[in-house]
Amino acid sequence: MAQIDTNLYDSIAQAYAAIDTSLSTVVANARTALDAVVDVSTTGYPDPSGNADAALEVELALLGSFNAGYVSSTALVSSTSALLTAVRTVNNFVINQTSGTDTATVKLDTFINTTMDQQWSVGSAVPTGWKNLCTDAGYVTSAW
């Protein structure tokens, strides 16, 4: 049985860990931008005289688009099913290519804790974002 190369598994895990990290901040960043638009009228924008009509005009011009951006970012984070399918595919490949009668959990734990531990020698740790996505995909990662 041909097992996945550790360099390939590492590349996938690192890339998906970065995706997980990015997804964890996208909503907060979109909310920060939306809050800035909503707070326009309290900052004295667009001039120091605090022209409320001008501030309201700016806020109304921007509010719809920035709210839509915020809603879109929350939807993006909520729809990770394709990412989780990819996580399941690579981990199921590892499990299916491991001989023996051990459970799927034991097979994947052994691959992560033995084979990949050598790949991740710096700190010997699974990338946090990869572990998060594996957990979200339904794998038991408590032994990693």
The string of pLDDT tens digits covering residues 11-42 is 999 999 999 999 989 999 999 999 888 875 55
Q: Cis link prior to 127 (omega < 30° from 0)?
A: no
Rounded to two decimals, what is the model's pTM? 0.76
CA distance 34 to 74: 13
Give the structural domain span for 129. 6-136
- Within-domain flag for 1: no
Q: What does the DSSP 8-state code read for residue 44?
A: T
Structural domains counted in the chain: 1
- Within-domain flag for 57: yes
- Within-domain flag for 141: no
pLDDT digit string (tens) for 61-119? 899 999 999 999 999 888 888 999 999 999 999 999 999 999 999 999 999 988 898 78
- Within-domain flag for 12: yes
